[in-house]
Amino acid sequence: MRWRVIVAATALAGVAFGSVVAADGTHDSRIALMKKIGAAAGALGAIAKGDKPYDAEVVKASLTTIAETAKAFPNQFNADSDKTDPEVNPKVWDNLDDFKAKAAKLSTDAETALAQLPADQAGVGATLKTLGGNCGACHQAYRIKKD
């Protein structure tokens, strides 16, 4: 009989895990993703500024992180999301399609850059300028500064 208990417990754990995922969309879960994007953009920035030598692996990893994280980010804005987040403009909820489109554009731009990997410091700088436009456009429209 013991295996039944284990199976039941596992099934329960699965339900619990599922609800944790569904309850995503908190300020912290969004910030964690944005921090990942920010760190990746920072790594590219260090190369663009010449603080770090050009490294194709770092460029590839950073662009991959941005492309993938930008895809996951809009999922943080769902029916169960925390809509009282003081850093998120209530406009997001009325313009969810536009918001998602802005995230998708960042992801697509990062993927385009991945396909033609910037080959030197200047290339990384140009890529960062393109990506940065996406960050700015969305932050300006949908992020509320705390201070």
Q: How many residues does the chain have?
A: 147
Q: Which is nearer to ligand HEC, 50 or 143 (CB)?
A: 143
Q: Fill in the per-residue mask, 119 to 138: x = in contact with ligand HEC (CB under 6 A), - = not in contact.
A: ------------x--xx--x
Number of residues that bind ligand HEC (CB under 6 A): 23
- List Cα–Cα distances, 63 to 28, 66, 73, 105, 109, in angstroms: 23, 5, 15, 13, 9
Site for ligand HEC, residues 24 to 43, rule: CB under 6 A? 27, 30-31, 34-35, 37-38, 41
Among 62, 85, 118, 124, binds ligand HEC (CB under 6 A): 85
Residue 97's CB is within 10 A of a number of other CB atoms, namely 9
